[in-house]
Chain A
Amino acid sequence: MSLSVHIQHQLGAFQLDAQFEANAGVTAIFGRSGAGKTTLINAVAGLLKPDAGHVRLGTRTLFDAHSFVPAHKRNMGYVFQDARLFPHLTVGQNLDYAARFRPKPRAANHRREIIELMGLEKLLTRAPIDLSGGEKQRVALGRALLSRPEVLLMDEPLAALDSTRKDTILPYLERIKAQTDAPPILYVSHALDEIARLADHIVVLQNGASVLNGPIFDVLSDPDAVPLLGVRQAGAVMMAQVEEHRAQGLSLLKVSAGMLSLPGVHAPVGSTVRLRILAQDVILSRTRPEGLSTANILPVTVRGIKTGIGPGAAIGLQAGTDKLIARIPAPAVQSLQLATGQDCYALINATSVAPASIGR
Chain B
Amino acid sequence: MTGLDAASWDALRLSLLVSSVATLCALPLALWVAWVLARARFRGKAVLSALVHLPLVLPPVVTGYLLLLGFGRNGPIGELLYSMFGVTLAFQWTGAVLAAVIMGFPLMVRAMRLAIEAVDPKLEDAARTLGAPPLAVFATVTLPLIAPGILAGSVMGFAKALGEFGATITFVANIPGQTQTLPSAIYAFLQVPGGEGRAVALVLWACVIAFVAVALSEWLGQKVAQRIKGGQNA
Q: What residues on B are CB-neighbors of A87 within 8 Å?
A: 123, 145, 227-228, 230-231, 233-234
Q: What residues on A are CB-neighbors of B132 within 8 Å?
A: 72, 97, 100-101
Contact pattern, B 68-95, Cβ under 8 Å of A = 1, otherwise 0: 0000000000000000000000000000
Contact A86 B127 (CB under 8 A): yes
Partner of B122, one of A70, A80, A129: A80
Chain A, Cβ-Cβ closest to B233:
A129
Q: What residues on B are CB-neighbors of A128 within 8 Å?
A: 230, 233-234
* B131 interface residue (CB < 8 Å to A): yes
Which residues of A (42-90) have their CB < 8 Å from a CB of B?
A: 45-47, 70-78, 80, 82-88
Q: How many residues of B contact A (CB 8 A)?
A: 26
Contact A147 B131 (CB under 8 A): yes
CA of A153 to CA of B128 in the docked complex: distance in angstroms?
14
Q: What residues on B are CB-neighbors of A100 within 8 Å?
A: 131-132, 136, 140
Q: How many residues of A contact B (CB 8 A)?
A: 33
* A6 interface residue (CB < 8 Å to B): no
Contact pattern, A 110-141, Cβ under 8 Å of B = 1, otherwise 0: 00000000000000000111000000100000
Interface majority SS on B: helix, strand, loop or mixed?
A: helix
* A267 interface residue (CB < 8 Å to B): no
CA of A72 to CA of B130 in the docked complex: distance in angstroms?
6
Contact A82 B234 (CB under 8 A): yes
Chain A, Cβ-Cβ closest to B133:
A72
Q: Assuming A80-B122, A86-B141, is B230 touching A101 (CB within 8 A)? A: no
Q: What residues on B are CB-neighbors of A82 within 8 Å?
A: 122, 234
- Shortest CB distance B121–A (Å): 10
Chain B, Cβ-Cβ closest to A80:
B126
Q: What residues on B are CB-neighbors of A85 within 8 Å?
A: 234
Contact A88 B234 (CB under 8 A): no
Binding site for A on B (CB under 8 A): 120, 122-123, 125-134, 136-137, 140-141, 144-145, 227-231, 233-234
Binding site for B on A (CB under 8 A): 45-47, 70-78, 80, 82-88, 97-98, 100-102, 127-129, 136, 143-144, 147, 153
